[in-house]
Structure 1
Amino acid sequence: MSALKHDVFQAIADPTRRQVLKLLAEKELPISEITSHFSISRTAVSKHLRVLSEADLIQGQKKGREKIYRLHPEPLMELKQWLSYYERFWENKLSQLKFAVENEEQEYERESQR
């Protein structure tokens, strides 16, 4: 596999590209229909599509005179794996906080009963 010009993290860093991915998750679309969802030029949308394509998050296929884009979600697994570490991290931190709060409440109850 050749090195990608853009990685998944760079590609999804932009809110417009995240919105494009959301649109393509619903159905395959030509650039004209994608562009209609944004207040930016077709050229700007085309640049976003290129970044997403270089990160292998979308694929385009010629159909007649148009190129139809579709989501290629497999590279998002890298993101999911990366986020899962932090999900476990925060679950652990929240469990520690819950334990601390419960212990503090029990200590307060003991002191108020004296």
Structure 2
Amino acid sequence: MDDESTDEALRAIAEPRRRAILRLVAHQELPAGRIAEHFDVTRPAVSQHLQVLKDAGLLIERREGTKRLYRARHEGLAPLRQFLDEMWAESLDFARRIAEGERGLSDRQSEAG
């Protein structure tokens, strides 16, 4: 996932209703009407949220007759998770170096021990 795609995915999940939609369809496929029942907004507003999630690669739409069924696209979430995991690992490494510095340990001493 390139930086632009990562940014688009982060913008998509920044909105609480979109995160809630992803939770709803994480393990089941639901029609748009059933998704809309969970929110206090109009169906067109829910449709816009679904479109943003689809455009970000986080949602799959499947048509069955006149119904549109939605489910989370787990492959779309994997690169976002990798980005967050890398950020977390870097933060933990930074915290470790600070803690070791406060104890008077060098990187060489911590590797030997």
TM-score by length of 2: 0.75
- Larger C-alpha radius of gyration, 1 or 2? 1
Give the equivalent residue in structure 2 for 1:47.
48
Unaligned runs of 5+ in 1: 105-114
- Distance (Å, rounded) in 2 between the aligned partners of 1:33 and 1:55: 22
1:24, 1:80 → 2: CA distance? 18
- Kindly state the Cα deviation for residue 96 of structure 1 after the two structures are TM-superposed: 3.0
For normalisation by structure 1, the TM-score amounts to 0.75
- Runs of 4+ aligned structure 1 residues displaced above 2 Å come to 96-101
* Contact 2:62–2:68 under 8 Å retained in 1: yes
Letter matched to residue 54 of structure 2: S
Aligned-partner residue type, residue 79 of structure 2: E
Instruction: Give the secondary structure class of the aligned counterpart of 1:75.
Output: helix
Residue type of the alignment partner of 1:73: H
| Distance across 2 between alignment mates of 1:35 and 1:58 | 15
User: Aligned pair count?
Assistant: 100
Report the equivalent of 1:109: none
Alignment RMSD: 2.3
